[in-house]
């Protein structure tokens, strides 16, 4: 059952660059009827809310305001973007201890129930998703991260540029950690039902240099941060797309991050796998037939995440 009109309330916790961009994307989308912006710096949340609310004449009716943690309790979706941002030269894992403390402090003030869906977008995303799942005690389908939805879009963009087709016609997925150990699923990548390499032959473009594309996708965030200090536009649209699938009960397959329980022999962590997303949250992840080297890389990615989780002593 899709979220009812009264539950089309979304709370964004943390209104830094990612949170504010997400709020803008949601306001323009018309998905929500109510948008609460929550931040420890109340004046910042108030300023962002005022700025967005002044667009009332240009968007569909929506109530936008600066709220507090109590405003999360009756929200259909809570998007968590709070925490320290990645600086040039830092990895996502470098943010772990700081952002875990922020996450834990915020969650203790929310008192969430299984009426809420919690989407984690702060880094290191997969580890914080697992920590949020443990801290809230919510069912695994109600707590998940934005995962590699953005990474998969980056993968599709690069392939579409090379092949000269629209990104929407490229089916390509990134799985595992939203980070350095993520895995590009080349064995399942296709255009119009045709394997990528064969498609290149059909349309007369040069073969794809897989290692080069892999590096571009994996390092995309670092490259953007080195130039402009942060990434926020594309991830905000990725989050909007996830919310769209939840609110409209779409059953869309998205590579969100959530608990894995025996998939590919992996457990004890959250990572991204293609999963059906609908009004109940993240459905059971799909176990697709991977190439042997991809499955091995996915297990290595899981091990990276398990080690990071162990460091938190959850």
Tens of pLDDT along 96-118?
889 999 999 999 999 899 999 99
Residue identified by tokens 């176990």 is: 287
Q: How open is the CA angle 186-190-195, to the nearest 5 degrees?
A: 80
Strand-strand pairing, 63-66 and 170-171: unpaired
Q: What is the pLDDT of residue 313?
A: 87
Q: What is the pLDDT of residues 132-181, one digit of tens each?
A: 999 999 999 999 999 999 999 999 999 999 999 999 999 999 999 999 99
CA-CA distance, 175 to 147, in Å (whole number)? 8
Question: For 45-62, what is the mean pLDDT?
Answer: 97
**DSSP 3-state of 282:** strand
Q: What is the pLDDT of residues 67-77, one digit of tens each?
A: 999 999 999 99
Percentage of residues in the chain with pLDDT exceeding 70?
98
**pLDDT confidence band for 246 (50 / 70 / 90):** very high
- Strand-pairing partners, residue 278, are 281
CA torsion through residues 64, 69, 75, 76, sign: positive
Q: Is 209 annotated as a binding residue?
A: no
Q: Which of 88-92, 123-127, 140-144 has the lowest mean pLDDT?
A: 88-92
Q: Is 248 annotated as a binding residue?
A: no
Q: Is 236 annotated as a binding residue?
A: no
Q: What is the pLDDT of residue 93?
A: 79
Nearest to 81 by CA among 45, 50, 54: 45
**DSSP 3-state of 65:** strand
CA-CA distance, 139 to 280, in Å (whole number)? 10
Q: Is 81 annotated as a binding residue?
A: no
**pLDDT confidence band for 3 (50 / 70 / 90):** low
Catalytic residue selected from 41, 54, 157, 178: 178
Q: Where do the domains of the chain lie, and which CATH numbers do they carry?
A: 9-145 (3.40.50.720), 148-311 (3.90.110.10)
- Active site includes 263? no
What average pLDDT is seen over the chain?
A: 94
Q: Which secondary-structure segment (H or E) carries 114?
A: none
pTM above 0.75, yes or no: yes
Q: What is the pLDDT of residue 1?
A: 45
CA-CA distance, 218 to 238, in Å (whole number)? 17
pLDDT > 50? residue 80: yes
């Amino acid at each position: 059952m899709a979220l009812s009109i009264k539950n089309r309330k979304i709370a964004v916790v943390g209104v830094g660059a990612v949170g504010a961009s997400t709020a803008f994307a949601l306001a323009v989308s018309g998905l929500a009827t109510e948008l609460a912006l929550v931040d420890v710096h109340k004046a910042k949340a108030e300023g962002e809310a005022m700025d967005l609310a002044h667009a009332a004449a240009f968007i569909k009716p929506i109530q936008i305001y600066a709220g507090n943690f109590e405003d999360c309790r009756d929200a259909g979706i809570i998007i968590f973007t709070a925490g320290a941002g990645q600086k040039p030269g830092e990895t996502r894992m470098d943010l772990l201890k700081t952002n875990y403390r922020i996450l834990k402090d915020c969650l203790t003030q929310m008192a969430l129930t299984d009426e809420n869906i919690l989407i984690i977008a702060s880094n290191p995303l997969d580890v914080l998703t697992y920590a949020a799942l443990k801290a809230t005690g919510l069912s695994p389908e109600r707590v998940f991260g934005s995962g590699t939805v953005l990474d998969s879009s980056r993968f599709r963009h690069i392939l579409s540029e090379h092949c000269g087709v629209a990104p929407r016609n490229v089916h390509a997925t990134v799985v595992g950690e939203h980070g350095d150990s993520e895995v590009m699923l080349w064995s399942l990548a296709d255009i119009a039902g045709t394997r990528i390499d064969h498609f290149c032959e059909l349309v007369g473009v040069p073969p794809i240099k897989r290692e080069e594309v892999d590096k571009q996708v994996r390092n995309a965030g670092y490259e953007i941060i080195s130039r402009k200090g942060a990434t926020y536009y594309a991830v905000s649209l990725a989050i909007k797309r996830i919310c769209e699938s939840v609110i409209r009960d779409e059953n869309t397959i998205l590579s969100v991050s959530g608990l894995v329980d025996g998939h590919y022999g992996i457990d004890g962590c959250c990572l991204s796998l293609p999963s059906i997303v609908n009004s109940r949250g993240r459905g059971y992840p799909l176990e697709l037939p991977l190439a042997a080297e991809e499955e091995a890389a996915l297990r290595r990615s899981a091990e990276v995440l398990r080690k990071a989780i162990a460091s938190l002593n959850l």
